[in-house]
Amino acid sequence: MKQLLALAVFAALPASALANAVVGQPAPAFTEKDLSGKTVSLADYKGKVVVVEWNNPNCPFVEKHYTKSGNLPALQKKYGQDVVWLAVNSTNPSHQDYMSNEKLSGYMKANNAAPAAYLVDADGSMGRAYGAKTTPHMYVIDRDGKLLYNGAIDDKRGTNPDEIKTAKNYVVSALGELKDGKPVSTPTSAPYGCSVKY
């Protein structure tokens, strides 16, 4: 009996409550408030390409692409005309990485960041629906609301900003291929970074 039970208890229960946004399928719908309190839904952007970026300014991997290089703010500006760039923060308010809307606004401004909206997903619902695991974790959604890319920002998995110069940026290449009407060559990759602080 005991052995049978021991066998039955095969794992602890921290099981995943994360869904996973799957490339080729419709991107999970969401409705979140942005830093100014405005409500933003995926449905608002039908007909537009949407880039979703998971963000937490206290994460060294995010710092690599913000304070240390200006990489992500530059991309947000560069693609600002063509795509809707959404930054999302799913940090739990009880976590020490949590920042008030005011502080987040200040951070974005200080880094010349210009996403179309910065969504505050304090309950983690959007993050769980997308299966966002790390900061940064990047998603690209096509005009029909279908997911085109899910994964890392680039192929240099580290915190050293010098790596950005030689890195292959998966989001940039997906957007380029989309523009040229080609299929996305790397539709998924393993995201890297700090864990999302659910």
Partner 1 sequence: MFRRLPTILAAQFLCAVALAAPVKTPHVEAELIAERTAFEPGRTATVALRLKIADHWHTYWKNPGDSGLPTRIKWTLPESVGAGEIQWPHPGKLPLGPLMNYGYSGEVLHLVEIATPATLRPGDTLPLKARAEWLVCKDVCIPESAELELVLTAGADNGQPDPRWADAFRQAREALPAPLANWSAEAGLNGRDLTIRLQPPAGTRAPASSLTFFPERENLVEAAAPQLLTRDGEGYRLAVKLMEPVPQDLGAITGVLVADRDWPGLASRKAVQVSAKVGGALPPAKANADAELGGSLLLALVFALVGGAILNLMPCVFPVLGIKVMGFIEHAHGERRLRRMQGLLFAAGVLVSFWVLAGVMLALRAGGAQLGWGFQRQSPAFVACLAALFFVLALNLLGVFEMGLRVQSLAGNVSVRNMRFDAFSSGVLACLVATPCTAPFMGAAVGFTLAQPAWASVLVFTALAIGMALPVVLLSYFPHALALLPRPGKWMETFKQAMAFPLLATVIWLAWVLGAQAGNDAVLALFAGLLLIGIAAWIYGRWAHSGSLWRQAAPALLAVAGLAVAWPTHLVAPGAIAAPRAGELPWQPWSREKVAELRAKGAPVFVDFTAAWCITCQVNKRLALNDAAVVKRFAELGVTPLKADWTNMDPKITEALAEFGRNAVPVYVLYSADKNAAPKLLPEVLTSSIVLDELNRLPKASVAVANPVTR
Separation between Cα atoms, residue 61 and residue 55, nearest integer Å: 10
Query: Residues interacting with partner 1, by CB under 8 A?
Result: 1-18, 20, 22-24, 57-61, 63, 94-97, 99, 103, 107, 128, 133-134, 151, 157-159, 188-198
Mention every residue, 6+ apart, whose C-beta is less than 8 A from residue 189.
151, 152, 155, 170
Mention every residue, 6+ apart, whose C-beta is less than 8 A from residue 91.
56, 97, 98, 99, 122, 196, 197
Instruction: Work out how close the CB of 167 gets to partner 1 at its nearest, in angstroms, rounded to a whole number.
Output: 15
Q: In this structure, what token pair is assigned to residue 82?
A: 């063509």
Instruction: Work out how close the CB of 108 gets to partner 1 at its nearest, in angstroms, rounded to a whole number.
Output: 12
CB nearer partner 1, residue 47 or residue 183 = 183
Instruction: Work out how close the CB of 63 gets to partner 1 at its nearest, in angstroms, rounded to a whole number.
Output: 7
CB nearer partner 1, residue 53 or residue 116 = 53
Contact 122, 160 (CB under 8 A): no
| Region for 181 from its dihedrals, namely left if φ exceeds 0, alpha if ψ lies in -120 to 50, beta otherwise | left
CB nearer partner 1, residue 145 or residue 187 = 187
Instruction: Work out how close the CB of 70 gets to partner 1 at its nearest, in angstroms, rounded to a whole number.
Output: 17
Separation between Cα atoms, residue 135 and residue 63, nearest integer Å: 10
Q: Which of 131, 103, 123, 133 is nearest to 35 (CA)?
A: 103
Instruction: Work out how close the CB of 16 gets to partner 1 at its nearest, in angstroms, rounded to a whole number.
Output: 4
